[in-house]
């Protein structure tokens, strides 16, 4: 469960990532103590068996994006070994019964800033990371772009076809006959360790796999993961939990190597919320650099990121070679604000709610939709009063070897 203000009205909203068939929930705060699920209004689809999630602005437009993890294997051989948990027949059934639009892979939902999201996971190259639990968007190399760490793995291959086709029938038989011997069958289920993933954010909605380059990636059954600047030297370190094994603790060497500057802030909130959970921080910088539009970065202080884990109560921005921030603005959870100007890089600020005043609903309000090049004319008003409804038919069930479906090509259309 993650929290952000999706409609920038000053009231926190909730995103719930759900495993199995139930769609994720995007609960909008109705300001009366209740919430309304509007996932189908904001998103076009969601990951079906959602595991961990992170709400964070990965493309530095100051709009909070959504990433959720699924289980799609990374390699072709494992994709073929495992039954897709959402085959077409099941997908059609789920649509018919109103289970939104489920996809069996990770999704990276870019916030378009106008109440809609676009899933860029395939474009960005982060859609297949095997049985993934944790996803953390954080700037690990201090270049100003939030990178992605994924922790994955599950001891027993219980979505493997061999298990479904050969072991499950035996288990059912033994249970039916009240025979002993289910445990040896379960022990016979194959085990396979996969490696975790770390991706560098290259900008332009592209992520590059840096596993092995940035850190050793032994194969493991990892689940929860968290970032924190353990040694307070200005870069984010990582701890990853493993099943039946010791944890991975990674010390980040960015500060030692001097490859990127940073700004950090510790927030001392109100007496009722001393860690200032729900506060947000916007930094603006590099406006004076020749030929460049000013840069900005946005963060919210929410410790629950990824899955089963809590990150440090810390605001951390990597800022590359920039040595001074023009402006840093904080919005505290009750709407109070304060700003600091001309902040030197490579320091940890101590900010206090008691020093803030006034009220703003959000540091970055939703912008008005941009003008379009075309306008849609009302078809019924022009005499074309017809809506084609496609019949639902699973071609692959009738002809398993066809490369694509042919019964959904729709009606022809001509003019004149
Ligand atoms: Ca809201
Ligand atoms: Ca964004
Ligand atoms: Ca980065
Ligand atoms: Ca560190």
User: Closest Cα partner for 137 from 255, 222, 54?
Assistant: 54
* Cross-strand pairs, 343: 325
The pLDDT score that the predictor gives to residue 217 is 95
Tell me how far the alpha carbon of residue 251 lies from the centroid of ligand 4, in angstroms: 6
Q: Give me the residues near ligand 4 (ion), CB cutoff below 5 Å.
A: 229, 231, 233, 235, 237, 252
- Counting ligands in written order, the one closest to the CA of 111 is 2
- Counting ligands in written order, the one closest to the CA of 29 is 1
Q: For residue 291, name the pLDDT band (cuts at 50, 70, 90).
A: low
Tell me how far the alpha carbon of residue 367 lies from the centroid of ligand 1, in angstroms: 15
pLDDT tens digits along 99-140: 999 999 999 999 999 899 999 999 999 999 999 999 999 999
* Residue listed under structure tokens 């939104």: 100
Count of Cβ atoms closer than 10 Å to residue 304 Cβ: 17
Contact 271, 265 (CB under 8 A): no
Tell me how far the alpha carbon of residue 279 lies from the centroid of ligand 3, in angstroms: 22
Tell me how far the alpha carbon of residue 181 lies from the centroid of ligand 2, in angstroms: 53
pLDDT tens digits along 2-56: 999 999 999 999 999 999 989 999 999 999 999 999 999 999 999 999 999 999 9
Identify the top-confidence range among 150-164, 168-182, 265-279, 399-413: 265-279
Tell me how far the alpha carbon of residue 320 lies from the centroid of ligand 4, in angstroms: 16
Tell me how far the alpha carbon of residue 234 lies from the centroid of ligand 3, in angstroms: 13
Q: Is the pLDDT of residue 289 over 70?
A: no
DSSP string, 132-151: EEEEEEE-SSSSSS-EEEEE
pTM reported for the whole predicted model: 0.93
Q: Give the DSSP H/E element, type plus range, for residue 295.
A: strand 295-300
User: Closest Cα partner for 366 from 114, 116, 117, 11?
Assistant: 114
Report the alpha-carbon distance of residue 289 to residue 322 in Å, rounded: 10
Buried b / exposed e along 338-360 (16+ C-beta atoms within 10 A): beeeebebeeeeebebeebeeee
Tell me how far the alpha carbon of residue 401 lies from the centroid of ligand 1, in angstroms: 48
Tell me how far the alpha carbon of residue 107 lies from the centroid of ligand 1, in angstroms: 22
Contacts of 380 (CB under 8 A, 6+ apart): none
* Residue listed under structure tokens 């990374």: 74
The pLDDT score that the predictor gives to residue 320 is 97
Count of Cβ atoms closer than 10 Å to residue 328 Cβ: 23
Tell me how far the alpha carbon of residue 188 lies from the centroid of ligand 3, in angstroms: 42
The pLDDT score that the predictor gives to residue 238 is 98
Tell me how far the alpha carbon of residue 343 lies from the centroid of ligand 3, in angstroms: 21
- Counting ligands in written order, the one closest to the CA of 202 is 3
Which pairing describes strands 347-352 and 261-268: parallel, antiparallel, or unpaired?
Answer: parallel
- Counting ligands in written order, the one closest to the CA of 138 is 3
* Residue listed under structure tokens 């071609």: 395
Q: Rounded to whole angstroms, what are the CA distances from 282 to 128, 159, 195, 246, 338? A: 31, 43, 34, 37, 11
């Amino acid at each position: 469960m993650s929290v952000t203000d999706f409609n920038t009205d000053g009231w926190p909203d909730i995103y719930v990532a759900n495993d199995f068939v139930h769609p994720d929930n995007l609960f909008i705060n109705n300001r009366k103590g209740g919430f309304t699920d509007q996932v189908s209004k904001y998103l076009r689809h969601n990951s079906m068996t959602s595991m961990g999630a992170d709400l964070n602005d990965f493309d530095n437009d100051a709009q909070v994006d959504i990433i959720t993890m699924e289980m799609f294997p990374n390699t072709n051989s494992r994709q073929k070994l495992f039954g897709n948990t959402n085959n077409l027949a099941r997908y059609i059934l789920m649509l018919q019964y109103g289970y939104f639009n489920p996809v069996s892979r990770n999704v990276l939902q870019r916030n378009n800033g106008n109440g809609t999201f676009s899933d860029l996971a395939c474009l960005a190259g982060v859609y297949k990371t095997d049985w993934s639990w944790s996803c953390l968007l954080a700037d690990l190399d201090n270049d100003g772009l939030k990178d992605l760490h994924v922790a994955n793995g599950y001891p027993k291959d219980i979505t493997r076809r061999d298990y479904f086709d050969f072991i499950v029938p035996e288990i059912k038989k033994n249970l039916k006959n009240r025979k002993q011997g289910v445990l040896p069958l379960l022990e016979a289920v194959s085990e396979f360790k996969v490696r975790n993933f770390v991706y560098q954010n290259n900008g332009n909605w592209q992520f590059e796999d840096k596993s092995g380059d940035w850190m050793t990636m032994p194969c493991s059954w990892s689940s929860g993961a968290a970032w924190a600047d353990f040694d307070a030297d200005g870069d984010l370190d990582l701890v990853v939990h493993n099943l039946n094994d010791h944890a991975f603790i990674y010390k980040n060497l960015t500060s030692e190597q001097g490859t990127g500057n940073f700004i950090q802030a510790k927030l001392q909130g109100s007496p009722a919320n001393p860690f200032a959970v729900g506060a947000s921080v916007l930094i603006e910088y590099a406006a004076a650099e020749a030929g460049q539009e000013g840069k900005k970065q946005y963060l919210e202080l929410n410790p629950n990121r990824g899955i089963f884990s809590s990150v440090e109560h810390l605001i951390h921005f990597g800022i590359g070679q920039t040595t001074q921030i023009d402006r840093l603005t904080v919005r505290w959870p009750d709407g109070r604000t304060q700003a600091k100007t001309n902040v030197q890089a490579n320091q940890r600020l101590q900010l206090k709610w008691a020093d803030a005043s006034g009220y703003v609903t959000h540091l970055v309000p939703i912008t008005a939709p941009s003008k379009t090049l075309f306008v849609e004319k009302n078809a019924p008003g022009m005499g074309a009063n017809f809506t084609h409804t496609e019949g639902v038919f699973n071609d692959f069930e009738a002809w398993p070897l066809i490369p694509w479906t042919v019964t959904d090509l729709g009606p022809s259309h001509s003019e004149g």
